[in-house]
Structure 1
Amino acid sequence: MKPESSRPIELTEYQLATFEQDFIPESVGDKIYMNYAKEIEIEFPNRKTKYQWHLKSKGRVGNIPITPEFHIAIRPKVSINNLFGMIDYAYNLKIKFPQGSIQCQSLQESYERLANILAQKILERCRKGLYRDYLSKTERLAYIRGRVDLRSALQKPWEVKLKCHYNEQTGDIEDNQILAWTLFIICRSGLCRESVSSTVRKAFHALQGCVTLKPFKSEACIDRNYHRLNQDYQILHALCRFFLDNTGPSHETGDREMLPFLIDMAKLYEQFVAEWLKANTPKGFEVESPYPVKYDKDYFDEIDLIIRDIETNEILYVLDTKYKAPDRVGSDDRHQIVAYANALNCQNAILIYPQDLTTRLDIKHGAIRVRSLTFSLDSDLNEAGKTFLTSLLPSTVSYW
């Protein structure tokens, strides 16, 4: 089942969409309500809704297969180019495209582009030879290999085969298994056109002969060890992390079911702002994200970002991203950032929003200055970042 062959229920994140009662079968509404209540706010036709369907995405964008006849396509509020730029930063992809390359017009095109890049890079690595490593194995052999288990041999002297401990060089290692599982997930997504799907299948088959197919979560792609023999795997695993982060389990079982592809925009915004700041904060400052905070012996939390002075090691700013656009800062957000600042003995607390607030916040809460600042997603991301840093650190950004 391909998305093109099913009927789309088109939404835009955080925007209410209405549909006539006969547009969506009740059975489809039931599946949405039962399986995707966390992602989609749905209200069935009733007198209050004037007998229309009301649907709203709760900050997710992507594609959700519901039945062979229906799928939900959720568009982002930000432009596709800026969404792609956020992904590029958030996952440290650092992908360079040829000048004049076609710009993505939809989320599906962005997905296809990244899937094609991953497949092509895996095929290139297969042609060079997959990275191999030594794995410890223990087997009973008719010949001596590696180290013989003498204790076992003495206990059972009649055994013809000896228990041996040895190291074997193999390509069936986690580095390559992550690649195979990600390609398998992409094949099942149903989001790629045949021209891209064929490349993905080709890369998967190139791995299939020597790599075991095992499931992995996105966390497996983080903090891996790279060196001169597998340095190019860093970009491969960054791409894998993107797909594994945003591809969920199907709501039904079976190899032929499509998989939902959903990007959590609040999480993406948080990752993007953190990585952009790490790459662009002036010298003398260090960005850490996320940063653990301990209120007492039983209660821990994580702050989105902190900025510290490298020379003194003092935490200068506590920052929290808020992917929403209210008229003013809510009391819950204000109390939360003040609690973070108090816990770290920091005098500057910053709430970051993707759009300007009608009423900006700049107040003193005891010794703590609490402000709302904007890291906009409406225009060029780098220019928006510079504007944000100018507001945050006005005396340190003259090098631009």
Structure 2
Amino acid sequence: MKRESPQIIELTEYKFASFEQYSIPQSVGEKIHKNYDKEIDIEFPNFKTKYQWHLKSKGRVGNIPITPEFHIAIRPKVPINNLFGMIDYAYNLKIKFPPGSIQCQSLQESYERLANILAQKILERCRKGLYRDYLSKTERLAYIRGRVDLRSALQKPWDVKLKCHYNEQTGDIEDNQILAWTLFIIGRSALCGESVSSTVRKAFHALQGFVTLKPFKSEACIDRNYHRLNQDYQLLHALCRFFLDNTGPSHETGDREMLPFLIDMAKLYEQFVAEWLKANTPKRFNVEPQYLVKHDKDYFDEIDLIIRDIETNEILYVLDTKYKAPNKVDNTDRNQVVTYATLLNCKNAILIYPQTLKALDQQIGDIQVRSLTFSLEGDLDEAGITFLTSLLPSTVSYW
């Protein structure tokens, strides 16, 4: 029996939307309020709302299956192709598509495209053979293998099985387990059409006989060791990190429950700006994201970005990304970035916004604090060059 398509309520990030009282069941409204209050502001129908539902996304975009029959889809205010470009930079995917490839029209299409790339590349790796490594094992064996534990043998001389320590080459290692878990998560998201879902299932089954299914967080995909034998896993793990970063735990239990897929746009903007600057800033500078300033063992500040002069090691700029659209710079934002600059004895504090606003250019003590725009509306690389020219006007000749 074919399952009916769910009812979908569409929102756009940060935009208020109203819906007639009959369009959203009361039980669904209660689940949104209970399980997704960090993602969505919801006001129940009442006299003040003219008995309508009021909903507003708080800066997450994606798909939330409130129930199997009722979903919320949150569209980004950023053009979809630019969102894809941000993801490409932020996760270091470096995926090149052939000229004339179909443009993504929705967030779900972007999700499907990346899921299909991951599944196809895993199948390709399976055809070549999974990367294998040696793992240390300890077992009681009826024969000698590797190194015998003599202490154990002397303690139990009657035991015909000897405790042996040996190395075994296997494909059931973290490199491959991460792939299997990510495919499992994608399968539960219910965001892919039948064609891509079929490819995802095929890739998962290709791993299933050789790899243990274990849960992983996105952090497992970072700072892994790559070399000649597993170099192609770098892209695979970057794709896995994207899916694991943005697929949240279900609000229900059970393997059949669909999982929400939500991108934190503020976090993505921060990662994108950092990676774009690392790739494009003149080589005399070093860009360091998520710079930690420790005050004591239990308290520290994490600064979005700093730019350092490589020759002198001096911190030249402290930068703080703000994924919001105010008319002018908020005093809280200004004070925060000035505090960071003061902590690092830096003379330049920069606030970065995704759209143009009433510019800030102010001297506070020894610190010059400015607001600059890294736009997400047009071509991202052109927007980056405009931003970098405003940030480092005297270094244009280094490009």
The AA in structure 1 aligned to 2:214 is: K
1:363 aligns with 2:362: yes
* 2:343 corresponding residue in structure 1: 343
Taking structure 2 as the reference length, the TM-score comes to 0.98
Q: Distance in 2 between matches of 1:389 and 1:199?
A: 41
* 1:6 corresponding residue in structure 2: 6
Q: Distance in 1 between matches of 2:171 and 2:298?
A: 44
Relative to 1, partners in 2 of residues 1:236 and 1:297: Cα closer, same or farther, differing over 3 Å? closer
Please list the CA deviations of residues 70-128 of structure 1 after superposition, one character each: whole Å capped at 9, or x if unmatched.
10000000000000000000000000101110000000000000000000000000000
**Alignment RMSD (CA, Å):** 1.3
Residue correspondences, number: 399
* 2:54 corresponding residue in structure 1: 54
1:111 aligns with 2:114: no
- Secondary structure at the aligned position of 2:267 is classed as helix
Q: Distance in 1 between matches of 2:208 and 2:373?
A: 47
Please list the CA deviations of residues 366-386 of structure 1 after superposition, one character each: whole Å capped at 9, or x if unmatched.
000000000000100000000
Q: Distance in 1 between matches of 2:323 and 2:4?
A: 30
Relative to 1, partners in 2 of residues 1:181 and 1:297: Cα closer, same or farther, differing over 3 Å? closer
The AA in structure 2 aligned to 1:133 is: D
* 2:28 corresponding residue in structure 1: 28
Relative to 1, partners in 2 of residues 1:4 and 1:94: Cα closer, same or farther, differing over 3 Å? farther
* Residue 209 of structure 1, CA deviation: 0.2
Task: Tell me if the contact between 2:61 and 2:76 (Cα under 8 Å) persists in the aligned partners.
Answer: yes
Q: Distance in 2 between matches of 1:298 and 1:129?
A: 46
The AA in structure 2 aligned to 1:383 is: E
Matches for 1:1-400 after TM superposition, within 5 Å: 5-295=5-295, 298-357=298-357, 359-398=358-397
298-307 or 232-241, which deviates more: 298-307
- Secondary structure at the aligned position of 2:207 is classed as helix
* Residue 255 of structure 1, CA deviation: 1.4
142-151 or 326-335, which deviates more: 326-335
Relative to 1, partners in 2 of residues 1:2 and 1:175: Cα closer, same or farther, differing over 3 Å? farther
Task: Tell me if the contact between 2:68 and 2:258 (Cα under 8 Å) persists in the aligned partners.
Answer: no
Identity %, equivalent residues: 87
Task: Tell me if the contact between 1:3 and 1:190 (Cα under 8 Å) persists in the aligned partners.
Answer: no
The AA in structure 2 aligned to 1:347 is: K
* Residue 193 of structure 1, CA deviation: 0.3
Please list the CA deviations of residues 275-334 of structure 1 after superposition, one character each: whole Å capped at 9, or x if unmatched.
000000012000001100134565301000000000000000000000001011111111
The AA in structure 2 aligned to 1:288 is: E
Q: Distance in 1 between matches of 2:189 and 2:2?
A: 9
Q: Distance in 2 between matches of 1:180 and 1:132?
A: 15
* Residue 398 of structure 1, CA deviation: 3.3
Q: Distance in 2 between matches of 1:398 and 1:5?
A: 56
* Residue 261 of structure 1, CA deviation: 0.2
The AA in structure 2 aligned to 1:319 is: L
- Secondary structure at the aligned position of 1:62 is classed as strand
Q: Distance in 2 between matches of 1:61 and 1:153?
A: 60
- Secondary structure at the aligned position of 2:77 is classed as coil
* Residue 216 of structure 1, CA deviation: 0.2
The AA in structure 2 aligned to 1:171 is: G
Please list the CA deviations of residues 191-236 of structure 1 after superposition, one character each: whole Å capped at 9, or x if unmatched.
0000000000000000000000000000000000000000000000
* Residue 399 of structure 1, CA deviation: 5.1
Taking structure 1 as the reference length, the TM-score comes to 0.98
